[in-house]
Structure 1
Amino acid sequence: MIQPDFTVLYAAHLATMKQRADEALARGGFDHLVVPSGTSHYQLFDDRDYPYAVNPQFKAWLPLTRVPHSWLVYTPGERPKVIFHQPFDYWHVVPAAPSGWWVEHFDIHIIRKPEDALALLPRPAARCAILGEAQSTLGAATAEQYAPNNPDAVINYLEYQRSYKTPYEIALMREAQQLGVRGHRAAEAAFREGASEFAIHMAYCSAVGQDLGELPYNNIVALNEHGAVLHYTELGRTAPAPVRSFLIDAGASFHGYASDITRTYAMDTTGEFQALIDAVDSAQVAMAQGVRAGVDYRQLHIDAHLALMGILRDFGVITVSPEAALETGVSAAFFPHGLGHPIGLQVHDVAGFAETDRGGKIARPPGHPYLRMTRVLEPGMVVTIEPGLYFIDMLLDEVRQNGLAASVDWARVDAFRPYGGIRIEDEVLCTDGDADNLTRPAFAANA
């Protein structure tokens, strides 16, 4: 794969960020955009901090994810400024001097103590749109205080625009795909060798080269029935006997951008559960191809229900039509989550429900409370497509309690229950033409 020229791509990305900031500040009536990178949170009754997570509004500008107490300052018409916290510290590793494809575009000021930033922030503070957590506040309340105000007009516009990824962002997300797929290949190999969930997780982290503090989310590594727990993160230390199935939902990070990939495997590659996996996989490919400009994501979600119920009907699990299963809620017992979500700087990225760049919310379809995206697709958006079929006892019990037991062949459910469930997830870029699946090529390149 040809390595992208991030220096060129970043320059264009920064120009876009400035244009967006100009409009956001104008809408909010502010003169300056001020973005703290964030600080560490300390645990209650302890002197240990939680893992640091950078402010997404900060890393939207800069490929810096491990520099707490730093600041981004932008004033329209002026060169942007980075206040870079590089403390004198012998307890922790100090961030290296700023370097990389971004440095030539900024005035960089090194500070040794967090409060040193006060002298470098624009005045007056009341003219600044400050985007961040309350704990990033600098200054005394009786003097000039820089407390995040997160003005709606600014936040709404910037988050809405984050839906449209720049070529720089797409290039970073492709790199995150490559890293994630490397881990997935290692995890599948460990599964087929009979490893425990914990050992599979460790194989994944080793292959990716990232630990829990660097991965974009906690890995879901589920063997057998554990695949029926949507966010299973317990990581059993002993492999079950026998090992039947494996569901892994795991991603990777690359300069602040996330990948989010799910695959399901059967130990017996000739059995009926493998056939069910293959059917879901084929349906998922077709769903991903439906990511096109002008398509309502809510309709993609409803269509996914119909496609998945068609599969269950073909396998004899349900006895009614896909349409009847959807109308009565039976489909939600087998596919209880949403089809996917926006992704980028955050795994569940912002503005999935945004009605306009001035606010408002597009409602979910009735009966589908867990869908995380309700917008019409447009070029530049990246979404996940992650259909799933699960055999979850508590949801199936509700089907019985709701008088719909005849809609299900319970003997077929019993046959599939020991395998837990199936989920297949890719990331897909909406373009002016065909959908651009970011995930499948990475698997093909790492076959």
Structure 2
Amino acid sequence: MDKNLYADHMATLCRRYDEILESCGFDTLNVFSGAPRMQFLDDNPYPFKVNPQFKALVPITDNPNSWVIYRRGQKPKLLFYRPVDFWHYVPPAPQTFWSELYDIELLSKPADAREFLNADNAAFIGDADRFQDWTLGEINPETLINRLHWARANKTPYEVACLREANRIAVAGHRAAELAFRGGASEFEINQAYLSATGQGENTMPYGNIVALNEHAAILHYTHLSTQRLPGTELKTFLIDAGADCNGYCADITRTYSYADSEFAQLVAAMDEKQLQLVDGLKPGLPYPDLHRQCHLKVGELLAQFDIIKSSAESAVESGLTRPFMPHGLGHFLGLQVHDVGGHQSGPDGGTTPPPAEYPFLRTSRTIEENQVFTIEPGLYFIDSLLAELKASPLASEVNWNKVEEFHPYGGVRIEDNIVVGAEANENLTRACEVEY
């Protein structure tokens, strides 16, 4: 990663943190990376996941018991945990593109951090359960966290570079996964091909990979990973929703493939066109729920085009007929977390702006701004439970159920790209990486 790009990023962060700390009445921020938690009745820990507020300050995702101490107007201090341990891997002291911008102290024991912490006029962010007798400062002050969350929606060039690289890594995995699918691999084998191509393990992935064959594509968060291989005569479709990590930043990409040249393949191609139209509709000043409503209109157009419904797209949106076929939100903020924070926040000080009542699962209700990063992921599914409710509703007569039965074995289709909002034009991180691949 470019050293100067990171230096500019840190200069922006320092200005941001200085302003936020001053406005909240704090001089110092103590941020804990987190610590492993033991599994119940076991001596093995759960996989470690870093405190996102820690990796917001320093690109370390895999070293528990570390700290960032940020004091207004001063160079941040990193307390980096390096135990004396012959059982486990001990990371080297940081010497990389970012390390010169921190005063680094090495800790051999977690308790050694205590002597560096200053609780005077300080705030602490992290899990405080293990520090019952420590003086940390005010623990997880709501207004401070709200302001940090609000500011995180605006990405720096360094952050965009990390997201771009995460997309490049993920696209390599998606290419390998498609080849494995075409070769008749099982869901489990496809996932292994993905992990191998990305060079990242399951604990590094920003979320559990969704690798779904046939009707499993109708399960929105399907992560079962069946080991069963299907003969070519039974293979119909493949949906993969999988990402990658770069310096703690996430990619989140979905693609759907038809095994054969079929009407479902035409539906996938048509959804791809609609998705790109929605990407172009992502504009500064537009409330995100308005774009979600445009998504439902486009889903309605597909339902009418493929003779799944008898009504027009407009009336299908008005009546709610599109909702059983597209039950989730159009997309969400993307960054240090795959569902990045602040999507429903009303303002820097907090408050919640809920999504529209008719679209309760929409993760973003904010107005779109330049330098924000979103996923755009329209879908169209044939989900048993939602279809059963629809069939029992007054809208049942508006559906061509024979057509639904034809598409049902394919599960569904979703296309998802990662988009940086620009003043004049957006950057589609995912498609640009596909072209380069």
User: Which bracket does the TM-score occupy, shorter chain normalised?
Assistant: over 0.9
Deviations 1:6-56 (CA, angstroms, capped at 9, x unpaired): 201111111111111112212221110111111111111111110000111
Deviation, structure 1 residue 147: 6.7
1:215 counterpart = 2:208: no
Mapped partners of 1:26, 1:286: distance in 2: 43
Deviations 1:153-189 (CA, angstroms, capped at 9, x unpaired): 2111111000000000000000000000000000000
What residue is the counterpart of 2:131 in the other structure? 138
Mapped partners of 1:27, 1:50: distance in 2: 37
Mapped partners of 1:21, 1:34: distance in 2: 12
Task: Mark the runs of 5 or more structure 2 residues left unpaired by the alignment.
Answer: none
1:87 counterpart = 2:83: yes
Query: Superposition pairs for residues 29-428 of structure 1, below 5 Å?
Result: 29-124=25-120, 127-135=121-129, 137-138=130-131, 140=133, 144-146=134-136, 149-241=139-231, 242-268=234-260, 270-428=261-419
Deviation, structure 1 residue 123: 3.9
2:131 counterpart letter in structure 1: L
Deviation, structure 1 residue 411: 0.6
Task: Mark the runs of 5 or more structure 1 residues left unpaired by the alignment.
Answer: none
Deviation, structure 1 residue 349: 0.2
1:237 counterpart letter in structure 2: T
Distance 1:148 1:348, change over 3 A: farther
1:279 counterpart letter in structure 2: A
SS in 2 for 1:221: strand
What residue is the counterpart of 1:8 in the other structure? 4
Mapped partners of 1:145, 1:75: distance in 2: 16
- Percent identical among aligned pairs is 47
Contact 1:176 1:252 in 2 (8 A): yes
Contact 2:123 2:141 in 1 (8 A): yes
Which moves more between the two structures, 22-31 or 176-185?
22-31
What residue is the counterpart of 1:438 in the other structure? 429
Mapped partners of 1:358, 1:139: distance in 2: 28
Mapped partners of 1:445, 1:167: distance in 2: 20
Which moves more between the two structures, 385-394 or 361-370?
361-370
SS in 1 for 2:336: coil
**Structure 1 length normalisation: TM-score?**
0.95
Mapped partners of 2:352, 2:19: distance in 1: 21
1:251 counterpart letter in structure 2: G
Mapped partners of 1:198, 1:442: distance in 2: 25
1:403 counterpart letter in structure 2: P
SS in 1 for 2:322: helix
User: How many residue pairs are counted as aligned between the two chains?
Assistant: 435
Mapped partners of 1:188, 1:250: distance in 2: 12
Mapped partners of 1:11, 1:266: distance in 2: 45
Mapped partners of 1:156, 1:133: distance in 2: 17
SS in 1 for 2:226: coil
Deviation, structure 1 residue 139: 6.0
Deviation, structure 1 residue 437: 0.8
Contact 1:291 1:429 in 2 (8 A): no
Deviation, structure 1 residue 94: 0.5
Mapped partners of 1:130, 1:13: distance in 2: 23
Contact 1:382 1:430 in 2 (8 A): yes
Mapped partners of 2:282, 2:383: distance in 1: 29
Deviation, structure 1 residue 323: 2.1
SS in 2 for 1:186: helix
1:26 counterpart = 2:22: yes
